[in-house]
Structure 1
């Protein structure tokens, strides 16, 4: 039986990058200098942003940006602490120091900064100058999730799933799917289909989640719906509908759907008119999309065709010899 597909590679926000906060209002520059000297954290932070803005214009002001972010952070300005961490992490104005970077990111994250929590998660996910720790990455993404970052809900759920912490994964998939993250809906559907993560097996619920994901443009989920229609799981069996959805998913580069549709055309399954050439084309498309099963099916089909042609030539040779006699 074909496996239902989890999305295990798409982490929506691009969790491999780091973020520094840098919105700035130039009109407040003079006032900010004065207020920062008087100890106002927001003004020190704004002044740091000004120097950061200048550094983006090739003016060497990372040092001043660092000083002002540090002043603001010392007064518990969360975003300033994130920016100090970023500058430490990248060796801007100061020596690169991952230990200090983590310390400041953590201070910011503990004050509920989504940016800082995601930066910490990304450090541990990538193993960037620290030991790779997917569970710790999941925990920081989960904290961002609790603070309202829906894509982090999906990211944390994916990592919890990879670490076999299925119940935590279910919690964050639910949050993310409820906010229309369609990748999360697909994965939550697989949990319901298989009764994973403390969930009771519920094929109808799985179908509805796949349907929501598919309607949102996730063609992996469309492939999963086609599988359910094909086998009558959670919905009345409807092979015609399954073939239609496999075709649509394949047209949108879902490689598993191309392989399955190609198999129908090769074998004439479900009374579908066989079409060997189209079957080969679909297997090739699947293979070109990186699907090893598609590559294997294509090679098997080529071998079968070559064997059939070889046998045909052999039969023709025998017939010719018999005719001469």
Structure 2
């Protein structure tokens, strides 16, 4: 039962869902509550599958009501081209930056990744110092992926000219100019933080760094500890995926 409805009956489910939409519209348009506007957009996205309207609400809620989560969602829409004819990476970056300014840590992560990305798929002007600051803000707010990403930047270094970097020839790389120089101590500290926040790959890196003595004193026991932690996180992740799959099957029965 929810709000007096019997959710086992199809007609009452439909009525409940429609009334939910009415409540969200009232809370957003009449009461002007940003958190309810975001719920309305989620409702339009998940229940109504109206991505165009959802995008409009996310965008308006970001710009007018300064709601960081809506900035992130609209940025994601722009990035993948949802609710529009094609993607727009520049607009996505703009809204990720807006979200980051509103302390939405995943927005900071996405902005940082776009600004530091390389390769033909990247359509945003590379700006490593700016992107680094976004990633650091996200990591400081305990986003495990941002900490892991930053750790990777310190592991290999970030070359000024990516075409000069050769991952198979470390000796040659010593002579190139870096925007961020390789720093194993920084890489280790960030990997350890990312691991403690639950990043599987960071835990594996910490284990390896303890084993090799990269950025930290060699310690076989610590290496084993973090290897086992990575395995435990991997198993938990697989269990969660399996449970979600089983629930999905049950929903289809």
Note whether the superposition's TM-score is higher than 0.5: yes
Residue 47 of structure 1 pairs with residue 40 of structure 2: yes
How far is 1:44 from its partner?
1.6
Residue 37 of structure 1 pairs with residue 26 of structure 2: no
| Aligned residue runs from structure 1 range 74-93, under 5 A | 74-93=64-83
Partner Cα distance (1:96, 1:171) in 2 = 36
> Equivalent residue for 2:194?
176
Relative to structure 1, the CA distance from residue 208 to residue 182 in structure 2 (aligned partners, 3 Å threshold; closer, same or farther) is farther
Relative to structure 1, the CA distance from residue 150 to residue 54 in structure 2 (aligned partners, 3 Å threshold; closer, same or farther) is same
Computing the radius of gyration from Cα coordinates, the structure with the larger value is 1
Relative to structure 1, the CA distance from residue 209 to residue 81 in structure 2 (aligned partners, 3 Å threshold; closer, same or farther) is same
Superposition TM-score, scaled by structure 2 size: 0.59
Deviation digits for residues 19-58 of structure 1, max 9, x if unmatched? xxxxxx94632122122223221222111112112454xx
> Equivalent residue for 2:153?
159
Superposition TM-score, scaled by structure 1 size: 0.48
How far is 1:146 from its partner?
2.2
> Equivalent residue for 2:251?
none
| Aligned residue runs from structure 1 range 176-255, under 5 A | 176-179=194-197, 181=199, 183-188=201-206, 191=209, 196-197=214-215, 199=216, 202-203=217-218, 206-216=219-229
Partner Cα distance (2:143, 2:24) in 1 = 30
Indicate if the aligned counterparts of 2:154 and 2:184 stay in contact, CA closer than 8 A.
Answer: yes
Relative to structure 1, the CA distance from residue 110 to residue 166 in structure 2 (aligned partners, 3 Å threshold; closer, same or farther) is farther
Indicate if the aligned counterparts of 2:106 and 2:143 stay in contact, CA closer than 8 A.
Answer: no
Partner Cα distance (2:76, 2:94) in 1 = 11
Residue 71 of structure 1 pairs with residue 60 of structure 2: yes
Partner Cα distance (1:194, 1:179) in 2 = 23
Relative to structure 1, the CA distance from residue 174 to residue 67 in structure 2 (aligned partners, 3 Å threshold; closer, same or farther) is same
Partner Cα distance (1:135, 1:166) in 2 = 19
Question: Residue 82 of structure 1 aligns to a residue in which SS?
Answer: helix
> How well do the aligned residues superpose, as a CA RMSD in angstroms?
3.2
Indicate if the aligned counterparts of 1:88 and 1:101 stay in contact, CA closer than 8 A.
Answer: yes
Indicate if the aligned counterparts of 2:203 and 2:226 stay in contact, CA closer than 8 A.
Answer: yes
> Equivalent residue for 1:130?
124
Partner Cα distance (1:136, 1:187) in 2 = 26
Unaligned runs of 5+ in 1: 1-24, 219-325
| Aligned residue runs from structure 1 range 106-121, under 5 A | 106-121=97-112
